[in-house]
Amino acid sequence: MFKRQFLLTALCSSMLLAGCQDSGENAETDVADADAQNGEQQQEQENQAPAAEKAEETEMPQEDDGEITEEPAFQYEVNADTYAIQPIEDSGADPQVALLTYDDAPDGHAVEIAEILAEHDAPAIFFVNGMYLESEAGKEALRTIHEMGFEIGNHTETHASLPDLSPEAQREEITATNERVEAITGERPRFFRAPFGQNTEASWEIAEEEGMALMNWTYGYDWEPEYQNAPALAEIMVDTEYLNHGANLLMHDRSWTRDASAEIVEGLRDKGYKLVDPALIASPEREETAQ
């Protein structure tokens, strides 16, 4: 699911999907087009010879197992009290999942972290600060991470403490970053994380207006001096008592976190945890679109 953006982009560029011309930055539109074609092709297949059926089947996007790709329904939501990732009622989703998140991106190592995660087929959310998107290098880093299929979240413009700001200044911190991200990637963030986890009444209201789900975390360690080295960080992130179903792991764009990421991914999987794809986590904006 995490790699679907790459699959759809490759198929569109091969011209096998008639009328599907969007790039990998608009994967949701590609899937909607594919679903529409699927319905039309099924009707045609009922009236055509087996040879024609086979020809049309090759035009539909498929997963590795040969099944037709479909837009995934939301399976998870953010617990408003604990910020754990929990299955939506009656979804049948596996509760033993963990979510990887990286704050303060792209501040030097985010692309390298994304490359490591991609090698391990590990989805994640990168929460970005608008101040890192002012330079061409920052814009290109964000564009690269987004095109690799990672979810982009909003972490404000300047990483300011929101309770110290007026409601108007908080709005600027949040909406300006959304606008920057959309200008670079073509998509507005679906998730908001306040710096230091300090939400206010204003930030709650602004996030709701912007169609974003609030997301803090359940645990994290990489800002503490004793865990600012890869071996110690990898060990605590996997062996902590706070690791449980729906764990929402807070990490940052730091060199020691980059170096620990592969071991964290494998350690979580060794303990039976699946890494949840953010595309399966509900947000107000996506819920509105789905209706």
Give the CA angle between residues 14, 15, 16 to the nearest 5°: 90
Q: Of how many residues is the chain composed? A: 291
Which of 213, 215, 235, 233 has its CA nearest to residue 224? 233
CATH code that applies to domain 76-290: 3.20.20.370
Cα–chain center distance at 144: 14
The mean pLDDT of the chain is 83
Instruction: Give 56's contacts (C-beta < 8 A, 6+ positions apart).
Output: 41, 44, 45, 48
pLDDT digits (tens, 9 = 90+) for 247-285: 999 999 999 999 999 999 999 999 999 999 999 999 987
pLDDT digits (tens, 9 = 90+) for 229-241: 999 999 999 999 9
Residue pair 214/204 in contact (Cβ under 8 Å)? The answer is yes
Residue type, 249: L
Give me the DSSP letters along 45-104: HHTS-HHHHHHHHTTS-B-TTSPBP-PPPP-EEE-TTT--EEEPTTS---S-EEEEEEEE
- Distance separating alpha carbons of residues 15 and 62, to the nearest angstrom: 15
pLDDT digits (tens, 9 = 90+) for 23-74: 333 333 343 344 444 444 444 444 444 433 433 333 333 444 544 445 558 9
Reported pTM? 0.75
